[in-house]
Amino acid sequence: MSSPRPRPRREPTPPPRPRARRGWHRLLPSWRLLLGVGLLGVIAVVGLFFYGYSVVTVPTPNQLASAQASIVYYNDGRNEIGRLGATNREVVPLSAVPVPVREAVLAAENRSFYTDNGISPKGVARALWTNLTGGSIQGGSTITQQYVKNTYLTQSRTWKRKIEEFFITLKVDKQLSKDQILADYLNTIYFGRGAYGVQAAARAYFGVDASHLSVQQGAVLAALIQAPNNYDPALGAANAARLAARYRYVLSGMASQHWLPAGVDVNAALPRIASPRPQDQYGGPKGYLLAQARAELLAHGFSDQQIDYGGLRIVTTFDKTAQTAAQHAMATGLPTKNASGVHAALVAVQPGTGAVRAMWGGANYVARQFNNATEATLQPGSTFKAFTLADALQHGISLHSRFSGMSPYRIPGDPNPVKNEFNTSYGKTVDLLQATAESINTAYVDLVATQLNPQDILNDAVLAGIPRNTAGLKPNDRITLGTASVRPIDMANAYATFAAGGVRSSWFTIERVLGSNGGLLYLHKSVPQQVFDPAVVADVTYALQQVVANPLGSGTAAQALGRPAAGKTGTAALTPGTTTSAWFVGFTPQLSTAVAFYRGDGTGDLDGVGGLSTFFGADYPAHIWTAFTKAALAGQPVLPLPKPANLGRVINPAPTPPPTPTPTGSPTGTPTGSPGVSPSPAGTPTATAPVPTGTPTPGLAPTQGLAPTQGLAPARGPSLAGASSPPGLSGG
């Protein structure tokens, strides 16, 4: 059989060739290309996202975002004096913000806050579209994004900042709890009126703490967040209308989320909103208290940064009742007639502790940033005689000792005589009680020139509280007339040493400082020192009481106080025929206060001010002191001052009248002379104060022929070197 014939091989049919594109179709990419590019784009976006997420870190919070004003309180730790620092913010925990207030903020700004990841897709899309179509750079504006922008970034509106905001927001949302983010947001967001954070806003708009905000008040604050300057009703009727609409939006949002508490109507009326208060934190007399607090904080080592941004809680020594009394006494008691350029000071110190309870350094710190109470240096005049009394008593000289009352008085070797006011003479000799009550200069200079060492008086003034480096504090015979230049705060503190029975404490105004978290950062500790014997102080106090109690005393205005008081007037003159400073310094057991006046730079003449031909410490200073002390101590117990100790021996006792002759035999007739006159007991000074003669006796020398008591400092020649005023012009 033959083999079958092989079939011829057939070539495979080639696939049909694609139809060539013609026309505009040739310009379109293929679907494969599109798919590839799309995949590459997704990979690039994902890669960029992870790259951005990895390289963008959460920065350190901005200092200003967490800055808190430091709050200065009165000594009760509750009533606020004012704030230090430019940022009005007080951080409070979330628990201090009522839940409905928190929910009002969520209704206004971010209703999905507790469920989103910090980014709003709709918000991002809206912002992206606005940015791409030529609008301003916008953000997604969730609460977390707002918090990130305010806390970690600048306010610049650039793509770079928006990209950083996006990634930081995602990280912060993972790192912090929602409650922590909300708490930080509520403490950093700006509400207008200079108020940062919900606590400051609650006070600015409603005068309450955040914890006491009502639902309606919370809705108002939530409405303000979007644009405070567009919604604050105090800025105009248009703002008020916009606020009303935004307020309704917030309440409606709360209702839609079932957050509106029962009993609160979605159409509830706007609550009453307080008028804005002036933002000038240093305005008025309180500015001097705030400036003093800052100065003392710096002295204790606190930095400006801590003070301005650290949210310190500063409890001062200032007593609200006393400070109010000081401001009222000055506001109502200062002279108005011919008073241009007149300055005054009032400062009160608590005896035994040195705590400054009240301070009036001027009417308005913003207008004049010079504290008259702590910076003015004025000649204190006769208020300095108290230190001479202390020195005399320590040297065994009794208050009943007598010295020259004649004016003028000449110190051996000194060509310049010492004069009493109006060159009045008070008799050949006067005792120290009268010399103190009527402020007789000649008696005090006679005491110093013949019995004491001026250096000892200087040392006693320093012991009482006068700084040793006080300008013009020199050991000369006129030191007793107050020729040094002393600050009112130092005079008040020195007299507080007498009020405390000889116990001196340094004055201070900061009691304690707490951090923003309540931790104790500083606590003042007084270090009292017994610098004078209480018996010496008792006699000094008794003499100073005569200034007030004696009908002829120079401080009788203080009798209106209605409680025991001791004090001393003082006037000084840098040139003859003028008054360049006038004082009243006095104390009760609870308070020592100095009131001082001067004019211009301290060289101006006070005579004629207030209609007075001569401006004495007995007038405006004493009246203001009395008004202040009476109000400051209202309701406090009336405490006695110490009884005199009657120290020392009498120098230059009053001459004893000769005894009435006694007949040796029985009278034979009517005796001659004036019957019925009994002599004063020997050695007892007459109780009647000598009446000023009004006629000066020129050239009277120191008490002649009256030897000093054994053991006392001997008389010396004059020591006038370094006197800070023309001889004989201070005193009063």
Specify the 3-state DSSP secondary structure of 603: coil
Residue among 96, 261, 119 at smallest CA distance from 183: 96
DSSP string, 612-653: -SS--TTTHHHHHHHHHHHHHTTTS---PPPPP---SB-SSP
Report the distance separating Cα 227 and Cα 239, nearest Å. 10
Please name the helix (run of DSSP H) or strand (run of DSSP E) that holds residue 104, with its range, or none: helix 99-109
Report the distance separating Cα 308 and Cα 132, nearest Å. 42
Report the distance separating Cα 562 and Cα 584, nearest Å. 17
Report the distance separating Cα 165 and Cα 171, nearest Å. 10
89: phi then psi, degrees, rounded to nearest 5: -140, 140
Query: In terms of residues, how long is the chain?
Result: 732
CB 518 within 8 A of CB 362: no
Report the distance separating Cα 570 and Cα 335, nearest Å. 18
Report the distance separating Cα 350 and Cα 358, nearest Å. 10
Token couple for 108: 């206004």
Token couple for 168: 């930081």
CB 407 within 8 A of CB 424: yes
Report the distance separating Cα 22 and Cα 454, nearest Å. 122
Residue among 583, 574, 669 at smallest CA distance from 619: 583
Token couple for 425: 């003479």
Token couple for 481: 């007339």
SS3 per-residue string spanning 664-687: CCCCCCCCCCCCCCCCCCCCCCCC
Q: Are strands 503-504 and 529-530 parallel, antiparallel or unpaired?
A: antiparallel
Catalytic positions, please? 109, 382
User: In sequence order, what are the residues at sequence separation of 6 or more whose Cβ sits closer than 8 angstroms to the Cβ of residue 21?
Assistant: none
CB 373 within 8 A of CB 609: no
Beta bridge partners of 726: none
Specify the 3-state DSSP secondary structure of 10: coil
68: phi then psi, degrees, rounded to nearest 5: -125, 140
Report the distance separating Cα 513 and Cα 70, nearest Å. 10
CB 102 within 8 A of CB 221: no
Report the distance separating Cα 541 and Cα 588, nearest Å. 10
507 DSSP assignment? -
CB 408 within 8 A of CB 414: no
Token couple for 75: 């000594």
Q: Maximum distance among all alpha carbons in the chain?
A: 218
Q: Are strands 70-73 and 313-316 parallel, antiparallel or unpaired?
A: parallel
∠ Cα 618 622 628 (to 5°): 175
Residue among 83, 544, 87, 120 at smallest CA distance from 281: 83
Residue among 274, 388, 372, 389 at smallest CA distance from 330: 372
Please name the helix (run of DSSP H) or strand (run of DSSP E) that holds residue 290, with its range, or none: helix 286-299
Q: How many CB atoms lie within 10 A of CB 669?
A: 5
